């Protein structure tokens, strides 16, 4: 239900952004709202993929919870891999970049220091060029960072 509300609000923000009657400042505010809603939507997908916040069933188990607090038995690294799959993240050969992904017009980059950035409006062709470049970091800086809006979504 939350995901549908986010999608509805995102559609409204994108429609308003396209209106010729709004000012430049209002367009900038719409852009910010769109980014926030896209990040929120990605967070909801991540939480759903990790089964966090699922309501407990009426019949509680008498078994103690697993020591690692993971009901599905997956390790933290397995969960990270699940989330990477959700985002279509792919490992790359780079000294600073761990993985890249592309979904719904957003390029996602996870650095080896575990920070993650979203780059908005990157064409899929540009994403492919960066991903397959001999120097992924240089291509990212030259083709994406200098030309597209970005936001750090995880430090």
Indicate the domain borders of the chain: 2-49, 76-154
Q: How far apart, in whole angstroms, are the C-alpha atoms of residue 45 and residue 123?
A: 23
The pLDDT value recorded for residue 70 is 47
* Helix/strand/coil percentages in the chain, nearest 5: 50, 15, 35
Q: How far apart, in whole angstroms, are the C-alpha atoms of residue 12 and residue 23?
A: 17
- Token digits for 142? 């030259």
Per-residue pLDDT tens digits for 71-103: 567 776 777 677 677 778 888 999 999 999 998
How far, in whole angstroms, is CA 38 from its chain's centroid?
A: 8
pLDDT band at residue 60, thresholds of 50, 70 and 90? very low
Q: How far apart, in whole angstroms, are the C-alpha atoms of residue 129 and residue 123?
A: 10
Per-residue pLDDT tens digits for 96-145: 999 999 988 889 999 999 888 989 999 999 999 999 999 999 999 999 99
Is there a contact between 130 and 136 (Cβ–Cβ < 8 Å)? yes
The pLDDT value recorded for residue 93 is 92
Answer with the residue of higher pLDDT: 72 or 64. Answer: 72
Q: Which residue stretches of 50-105 are H helix?
A: 76-87
Tally of helices (H runs) and strands (E runs) in the chain: 5, 5
The pLDDT value recorded for residue 65 is 44
CATH number of 76-154: 3.30.310
């Amino acid at each position: 239900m939350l995901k549908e509300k986010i999608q509805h609000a995102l559609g409204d923000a994108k429609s308003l952004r396209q209106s010729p009657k709004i000012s430049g400042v209002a367009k900038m505010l719409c852009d910010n709202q769109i980014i926030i809603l896209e990040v929120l939507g990605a967070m909801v997908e991540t939480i759903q993929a990790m089964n966090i916040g699922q309501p407990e069933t009426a019949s509680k188990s008498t078994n103690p919870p697993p020591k690692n607090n993971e009901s599905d038995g997956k390790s933290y690294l397995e969960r990270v891999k699940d989330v990477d799959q959700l985002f279509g993240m792919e490992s790359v050969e780079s000294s600073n970049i761990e993985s890249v992904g592309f979904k719904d017009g957003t390029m996602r980059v996870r650095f080896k220091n575990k920070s993650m950035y979203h780059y908005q409006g990157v064409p899929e062709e540009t994403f492919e060029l960066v991903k397959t470049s001999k120097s992924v970091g240089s291509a990212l800086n030259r083709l994406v960072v200098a030309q597209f809006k970005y936001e750090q979504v995880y430090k």
